[in-house]
Amino acid sequence: MSSFKMSFVLLAAVTSLGVIPVRKPADVRPVPEFLKKSLAWLAAAQFENGGWGAGSHSRQEIRDPRAVQIDPATTAFSAMALLRAGNTLEEGQYSRNVSKALSYLLEIIEASPDKGTNITTLTGTQPQAKMGQNIDVTFCAQFFSRILRHTTEDSKLNNRVKGALEKCLRKIERGQASDGSWSGGGWAGVLQSSMANSALEAAQGAGLKVDDAVLNRSRDYQKSNIDLKTGAVRTESAAGISLYSITSNQRATAAEARDAEQSIEEAKKKGLLSGDAAVSKESLVVAGHSEKDAQRLADAHKQNKTAQRMLNDEAVMSGFGNNGGEEYLSYMMTAESMVITKDSEYNSWYKSMSRRLEKIQEGNGSWTGHHCITSPVFCTSAVVMTLTADRDADVLVSEQQRKRGS
């Protein structure tokens, strides 16, 4: 049995505690050597107070990670990268960095007003200008969702993290526009909306109550960015770059696409469907879904597979034409989607992406952007998140899906 499949068996067995278990190093793909250099660079770029910064939109030429202002979005994103690579609050070479980042972010969230849609008064950062004004709260929510399971033995800290996550969730829900996107979008606002969708799913996976109406509107918005009948891709909220819309769609449809496939497989085992039955609305109805739910799952599955096929086009993969933080973030979304859906092509995609990214790595271990989000801190974090996505399968996949996929 592969280590990837073994991890799902292990996870499915642990249900009575109500806590997502932490997988052992033997159960996950090792961090490649060239990425270890990146982790060391990223840890060294952290400020003493626990924060990281991407710099301002008006000074994109500044690449020194210590010559920029700290911002919550970049801090949360960098901390997630270290966490995904195997560093927790107590274990791992960079556990102290993760701990310092958590303390810094908790103070920021706890000091923010209960109302409103964001958690900082800081404006003009690269992540905000390029993705949206509320990107800080969505990245913080994702980080808290991931770190929460590592705080169960410290009830005080656990309550603080849970409270901070709850606060972020309410702000995210308030910030949604009527079309399912998120207000205050930047140059490529579809990315902020995608990160908000991921934040809602992560929080739900961590056991918090998420407004289903908000999550469904969010998923519907991302689905609308690819027209299945014509193959057209909406890019008005993606700065005209199809890569951003396609990967946002792919990431937001991943969970439902997996649900669809698992439902069909269960129906086959029960003898309700033939062994060659494909995912369709009709098959999903036979599998026990209502007409409405069957259509929703079938559409998500088709959207997800269509997006994956579109990404085989190198012209699409090139994004803006050269790599900025938005491209690296897009690669991360594809990696997460493929992990969630247990895509059979993941291993070959991973090898190809590893070669692609290793070739453009800076000598010091970092990556930098050539347009828009140029910050080496943000870009390096995104690459780490991309190439360690399978190590986060236990967080990316819901408990119910893990049980069914064991």
Supply the CATH number for residue 188's domain: 1.50.10
Phi/psi at 357 (5° precision) = -80, -35
Q: Check pLDDT > 90 for residue 376.
A: yes
Q: What is the per-residue pLDDT for 5? A: 37
Q: Check pLDDT > 60 for residue 369.
A: yes
Sign of CA dihedral 309, 266, 199, 149: negative
**Spacing of C-alpha 30 from chain mean position:** 20
Look at the chain and report how many structural domains it folds into.
Answer: 1
Which residue segment(s) compose the domain that 126 sits in?
3-253+319-336+343-404
Q: What is the per-residue pLDDT for 12? A: 36
Q: 353 lies in a domain? A: yes
Contact 215, 197 (CB under 8 A): yes
Integer Rg of the chain from CA: 20
| H/E element, 24 | none
Q: What is the per-residue pLDDT for 58? A: 66
Q: How far is CA 358 from CA 212, 355, 387, 395, in A?
A: 40, 5, 11, 26
Q: How far is CA 268 from CA 107, 276, 298, 399, in A?
A: 51, 9, 17, 22
Of the pLDDT bands very low, low, confident and very high (cuts 50, 70, 90), residue 11 is: very low
Q: 312 lies in a domain? A: no
Least confident of 9-23, 165-179, 200-214, 377-391: 9-23
Q: What is the per-residue pLDDT for 370? A: 85
Q: 302 lies in a domain? A: no
Q: 262 lies in a domain? A: no
- pLDDT by residue (tens digit) across 37-50? 999 999 999 999 99
- pLDDT by residue (tens digit) across 205-220? 999 999 999 999 999 9
Q: Check pLDDT > 90 for residue 24.
A: no
Please, which residues have CB within 8 angstroms of residue 196's CB and are 6 or more apart in sequence?
Answer: 134, 138, 172, 175, 176, 182, 218
CB-CB neighbours of 361 under 10 Å:
18
Q: Check pLDDT > 70 for residue 359.
A: yes
Q: 308 lies in a domain? A: no
Q: 270 lies in a domain? A: no
Q: Where are the alpha helices (DSSP H) in 206-318?
A: 212-223, 242-269, 281-286, 291-310, 314-317
Q: Check pLDDT > 80 for residue 405.
A: no
**Spacing of C-alpha 382 from chain mean position:** 10
CB-CB neighbours of 268 under 10 Å:
16
Of the pLDDT bands very low, low, confident and very high (cuts 50, 70, 90), residue 399 is: low
Q: Check pLDDT > 60 for residue 288.
A: yes
Long-range pairs for 43-49: beta carbons < 8 A, 24 or more residues apart: 43/82, 43/93, 43/94, 43/97, 45/78, 45/376, 45/377, 46/78, 46/97, 46/100, 46/101, 48/100, 49/100, 49/104
- pLDDT by residue (tens digit) across 83-100? 999 999 999 999 999 999
Overall average pLDDT of the 129-134 stretch = 94
- pLDDT by residue (tens digit) across 140-153? 999 999 999 999 99
- pLDDT by residue (tens digit) across 346-357? 999 999 999 999
Phi/psi at 80 (5° precision) = -65, -35
Q: What CA–CA distance (Å, rounded) separates 341 from 329? A: 19
17 residue type, one letter: L
Q: What is the per-residue pLDDT for 132? A: 94
20 residue type, one letter: I
Please, which residues have CB within 8 angstroms of residue 26's CB and are 6 or more apart in sequence?
Answer: 3
Q: Check pLDDT > 70 for residue 6.
A: no
Q: 267 lies in a domain? A: no
Q: Check pLDDT > 50 for residue 304.
A: yes
Q: Check pLDDT > 70 for residue 365.
A: yes
Overall average pLDDT of the 313-325 stretch = 83
Least confident of 17-31, 162-176, 306-320: 17-31
Q: Check pLDDT > 60 for residue 20.
A: no
Q: What is the per-residue pLDDT for 392? A: 92
Of the pLDDT bands very low, low, confident and very high (cuts 50, 70, 90), residue 404 is: low
Which residue's entry shows tokens 């200008």? Answer: 129
Average pLDDT along the chain: 90
Residue 176: strand pairing partners: 182
Residues recorded for the chain = 406
Q: What is the per-residue pLDDT for 3? A: 37
Q: 16 lies in a domain? A: yes
- pLDDT by residue (tens digit) across 55-72? 877 687 777 888 899 999
